[in-house]
Amino acid sequence: MSVPHFLTLLDLPRADVLGIVARASELKRDPALARSQARKTLGLIFEKSSTRTRVAFEVAMTQLDGASLFLAAKDSQLGRGEPIADTARVLSRMVDCLAIRTFEHAKLEQFASYSKVPVINALSDDFHPCQLLADMQTFSEHRGSIAGRRVAWVGDGNNMCQSYINAATVFDFELLIACPADFAPNSELVAKNSSRVTVMRAPDAAVKDVDLVVTDVWASMGQEDEQAKRRQSFAAYQVTTQLMSLAADNALFMHCLPAHRGEEVSAELIDAADAVIWEEAENRMHSQKALLETLLSS
Ligand code: CP
Ligand code: NVA
């Protein structure tokens, strides 16, 4: 039987992804319902920094009675040039699941192709599917099903934006993306999802009457050198309370965090008393626990 991986939202059957999101809410209400994963180990290989993703995975494994093992890539032989294929073959003989945060998405695919155990994308340059599980959970807990709703992405056509494109198909919503011309998401991905996804320039047009507005940093990890240039290119793309006023009356605002106040989001909006972003962050733990339960039980 082939090993299930979670490198993008499209890797598991749609019903499983919807099931993981529903299960996450269930486990949040009653953590005692979790199916024990005693004696199982999750390996975490991170080539980029992380707060939420790492802690969510480690706490989730603790609560599932399992263990996790964190490897900063630079401290392992991977950082000294041991081939990915060899690392995958060795580690997957010892642990039961691996979560990897890296740069090139192709590296994850290569790792997964040599792994005997499920591999999870803990963020690559192209996709961040774990964050989408939490975002979809958060929307459904506050506003019900997202199917048939309208969502606006404002800012960089980055890994988060591209995961929203996949989510539009899996969760059946319309996605309006406002981004500068030079920072659009992958055109093939957009074309493949053109029945649900529209790319435009103007943020106010994208957010009009939508139920959810989402943004992310203008310079992602690995793009630190471009920070100043990007600040100029994205100047018109800050999500503010004023921009939110163009969305539907009870529209939610989400951000995967970390956030840069005064850049992609105004301080006033992100620090609003009714912001759901802190719960969105908490839901990373519940949804990754549900994901692990699924992958470790398969
Ligand atoms: N949103 C997110 O993935 O946060 P970390 O980089 O802290 O894991
Ligand atoms: N787009 C951001 C997301 C961080 C969680 C990055 O890749 O750095």
State the catalytic residue, choosing from 128, 149, 150, 255: 128
Greater confidence (298 vs 179) lies with 179
Question: Nearest bound ligand to CA 164?
Answer: 2
Residue 225 has pLDDT above 80, yes or no: yes
Q: Is the pTM of this model over 0.75?
A: yes
Question: What is the residue with the minimal CA distance to atom 4 of ligand 1?
Answer: 52
- Mutating to test ligand 2, I would choose from 104, 217, 284 the residue with most ligand atoms within 8 A of its C-beta, which is 217
Residues 202, 122 within the same domain? no
**Catalytic site includes residue 130:** no
**Cα 232 from chain centroid (whole Å):** 26
Rounded CA-CA distance 151/208 in Å is 10
- Which H or E run contains 177? strand 174-178
pLDDT in tens, 267-283: 999 999 999 999 999 99
The residue-averaged pLDDT of 115-141 equals 98
Domain of 63?
Answer: 14-127+281-297
CATH number of the domain enclosing 175: 3.40.50.1370
In a domain, 5, yes or no: no
Nearest listed ligand to the Cα of residue 125: 2
Look up 128 and say whether it is catalytic.
yes
From the CB of residue 236, how many other CB atoms can be counted at a distance below 10 Å? 12
pLDDT of residue 222: 97
Angle, CA of 116, 122 and 125, to the nearest 5°: 110
* Confidence band, pLDDT 50/70/90 cuts, at residue 178: very high
Q: Using CA positions, which residue lies closest to atom 6 of ligand 1?
A: 50
Contact present, 73 and 47 (Cβ < 8 Å): yes
Contacts of 90 (CB under 8 A, 6+ apart): none
Q: Are residues 292 and 257 in the same domain?
A: no
Confidence (pLDDT) at 268: 98
pLDDT, one tens digit per residue, over 26-85 is: 999 999 999 999 999 999 999 999 999 999 999 999 999 999 999 988 889 998 999 999
Q: How confident is the model at residue 74, as a pLDDT?
A: 84
